[in-house]
C-alpha cells in the first residue's frame, strides 16, 4: 500500500511540474545560468550590416562631375543597396567643409595640397589615400573665336579679361598662378584676371563669352563644344596635376567607402576616366 502511495505521489509531482512549466513565458526557457553573449566584433558588425542600404557621401573636385555622374549608375547597378551622393566643388572649399565637420565618406581632390592638409590634420584614413589621376592645364577661347597661340600671348593689349580659378581654393587656379609666375606673366596679367569659384565656372564664362579666354583642365575643355583648346601650359611651368583620393577619418561607412575607392582603381573605372580625358597614374 505504501509502495502504491509513493508511486501515486511521484506521478502527481511530475504532473504538477509539467503544468507549472507550461505557464512560464517562452523567454524563461533560456537558463539564467547560461553563457553570456559577447559583443560582436567590428568585422562581425560590418558583415551583419552588409545587407543594409548604405549612402556614401563623396566630396569630389568639380572637374570630375561628368565622369563620376556616369560612374554612379554603373557602380550602383553592381552594388545593390549602395547609393552614391556627390558633393562637387573646388577642392579647397571641399577641404574646408571636411575640416568644419561636414559629412564626407570619400574625398577626391584635384590637388595633392588639399589632401595633404587633411591628412596632416588627422582627418583622412591615410592607409586608403592614393594618387589616381593626372590632368593637364590648358588655355581655351570661345569656339569659333580668334585663337591665342600661347600663354605668353595673353599679355597682348587686345585681351582684357581672362577667367581663372581662385588660387586660394581652386587647384587649377593654383596651377595657373604658378605657371604665370614661372613664365614671367604675373605682373603683366594681374589686372586682366577674373576669379571663379571653381573650374566649371571658368568654363561657363568662356562658353558664354563673358571672358575672352580661360584657364581650365583639359578634361573640362573636352566636354564642351562651345570652347576650343588653344594650347597647354608649357611643360615644367607648374607642378603636375595629380588627383588623390581616399576615405575620410569620420566616414560613417568606412568599409563601403574603401570598397568604392578600390573600385576607382579597377579596369571599369579606369576606362571611364580615360573616356573623359584623364590619365591614370601608373
Same domain, 116 and 245: yes
With H, G, I as helix, E, B as strand and everything else as coil, classify residue 130: strand
Same domain, 200 and 66: no
Fill in the DSSP letter of residue 133.
E
- Residues 97-154: pLDDT tens digits? 999 999 999 999 999 999 999 999 999 999 999 999 999 999 999 999 899 999 999 9
Residue 153 located in a structural domain? yes
In this prediction, residue 51 carries a pLDDT of 64
In this prediction, residue 50 carries a pLDDT of 55
In this prediction, residue 97 carries a pLDDT of 99
Torsion angle, CA of 131/135/136/142, rounded to 10 degrees? Answer: -150
Residue 78 located in a structural domain? yes
Total number of domains in the chain: 2
The predicted model scores a pTM of: 0.79
- Comparing CA positions, the residue from 172, 210, 170, 207 lying closest to residue 194 is 210
Same domain, 82 and 216: no
Q: Where are the alpha helices (DSSP H) in the chain?
A: 2-22, 42-48, 65-78, 91-99, 112-120, 171-182, 186-189, 199-207, 218-222, 254-264, 267-275
Same domain, 146 and 217: yes
Residue 27 located in a structural domain? no
* Residue whose C-alpha cell is 589632401: 115
C-alpha cell at 61: 573636385
Segments in the chain below pLDDT 70: 1-51
In this prediction, residue 66 carries a pLDDT of 97
Q: CA angle, 219 as apex, 218 and 221 as ends, to 5°? A: 65
Domain that holds residue 100: 55-134+241-280
In this prediction, residue 52 carries a pLDDT of 86
Residue 14 located in a structural domain? no
Amino acid at each position: 500500500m505504501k509502495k502504491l502511495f509513493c508511486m501515486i505521489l511521484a506521478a502527481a509531482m511530475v504532473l504538477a511540474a509539467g503544468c507549472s512549466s507550461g505557464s512560464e513565458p517562452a523567454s524563461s526557457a533560456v537558463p539564467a545560468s547560461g553563457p553570456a553573449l559577447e559583443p560582436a566584433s567590428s568585422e562581425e558588425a560590418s558583415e551583419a550590416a552588409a545587407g543594409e542600404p548604405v549612402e556614401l557621401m563623396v566630396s569630389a573636385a568639380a572637374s570630375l562631375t561628368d565622369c563620376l555622374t556616369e560612374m554612379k549608375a554603373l557602380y550602383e547597378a553592381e552594388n545593390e543597396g549602395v547609393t552614391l551622393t556627390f558633393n562637387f566643388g573646388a577642392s579647397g572649399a571641399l577641404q574646408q567643409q571636411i575640416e568644419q565637420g561636414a559629412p564626407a565618406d570619400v574625398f577626391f581632390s584635384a590637388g595633392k595640397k588639399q589632401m595633404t592638409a587633411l591628412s596632416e590634420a588627422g582627418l583622412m584614413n591615410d592607409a586608403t589615400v592614393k594618387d589616381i589621376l593626372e590632368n593637364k592645364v590648358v588655355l581655351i577661347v570661345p569656339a569659333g573665336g580668334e585663337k591665342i597661340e600661347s600663354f605668353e600671348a595673353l599679355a597682348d593689349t587686345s585681351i582684357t579679361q581672362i577667367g581663372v580659378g581662385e588660387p586660394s581654393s581652386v587647384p587649377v587656379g593654383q596651377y595657373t598662378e604658378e605657371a604665370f609666375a614661372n613664365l614671367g606673366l604675373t605682373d603683366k596679367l594681374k589686372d586682366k584676371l577674373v576669379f571663379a569659384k571653381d573650374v566649371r565656372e571658368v568654363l561657363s564664362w568662356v562658353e558664354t563669352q563673358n571672358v575672352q579666354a580661360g584657364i581650365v583642365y583639359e578634361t573640362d575643355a573636352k566636354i564642351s563644344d562651345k570652347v576650343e583648346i588653344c594650347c597647354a601650359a608649357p611643360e615644367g611651368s607648374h607642378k603636375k596635376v595629380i588627383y588623390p583620393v581616399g576615405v575620410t577619418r569620420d566616414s560613417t561607412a568606412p568599409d563601403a567607402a574603401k570598397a568604392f575607392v578600390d573600385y576607382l582603381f579597377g579596369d571599369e573605372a579606369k576606362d571611364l576616366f580615360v573616356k573623359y580625358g584623364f590619365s591614370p597614374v601608373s
